[in-house]
Amino acid sequence: AQKITQTQPGMFVQEKEAVTLDCTYDTSDPSYGLFWYKQPSSGEMIFLIYQGSYDQQNATEGRYSLNFQKARKSANLVISASQLGDSAMYFCAMREANKFYFGSGTKLNVKP
Amino acid sequence: KAGVTQTPRYLIKTRGQQVTLSCSPISGHRSVSWYQQTPGQGLQFLFEYFSETQRNKGNFPGRFSGRQFSNSRSEMNVSTLELGDSALYLCASSRTSSGRATYNEQFFGPGTRLTVL
């Protein structure tokens, strides 16, 4: 089974609107970390937000928030007030034990 | 604090050659991981080094190897290059290589884009 699943290969959002990027994960380890990264066309992976498996509250970082639903094993990224510069690939990742697992990514296009 | 640096940024090689890529982690980071990114396969984990020891290895053939030096800098070597090795190779560093879900986020370098002709 896939460790990380991102079911949306591509998404469009209107500038200034909010968008949710889906991510589900699979693990039996009670201790894990969930991450979201942004990869612009330049190629560099940029860390956005982190959620630990024991964290009680959803993580937030500026316009980014993580909708963590542990029972459903989902960790959706919410971007509020989308900007043109948000157009990029977005990867969900999980750290379990000593390994990182990445999803296949979602390409977000922000329309003016 | 300087970020993760990778050299070279771009590389063109021919089939059968070998290549060495270099990664310098963020100061104080002892864990370095390598990933291969291709349009078809996405991001695939190659291996992770921590304190000069390989801690984890992905499902890649033995042509892919790496090492880490005492200053945490890491090199990745690919021998007998194949066309399918053309990819973006990303290096990431983190503070620890802990089995616990501590805040050990990976910081990525800009990558080395390898083209095999």
Q: Residue B101's pLDDT is what?
A: 43
DSSP string, A82-96: --GGG-EEEEEEEEE
Which of B6, B37, B8 lies closest to B24, judged by CA?
B6
pLDDT in tens, A46-85: 989 999 898 889 999 999 999 999 999 999 999 999 999 9
- Residue A99 pLDDT grade (very low, low, confident, very high; cuts 50, 70, 90): confident
CA B8, A41, A89, B115 torsion-angle sign? negative
CB contact under 8 A, A45 and B90: yes
In whole angstroms, give the CA distance from residue B4 to residue B66.
17
- For chains A and B, CB pairs below 8 A equal 63
Position B62 confidence tier, pLDDT thresholds 50, 70, 90: very high
| Beta-carbon-side half-sphere exposure of residue B68 (alpha carbons within 13 Å) | 23
pLDDT at B104 over 80: no
Please state, in angstroms and rounded to a whole number, the distance separating the CA atoms of residues B46 and B34.
5
From B113's Cα to the closest Cα of chain A, the distance in A is 9
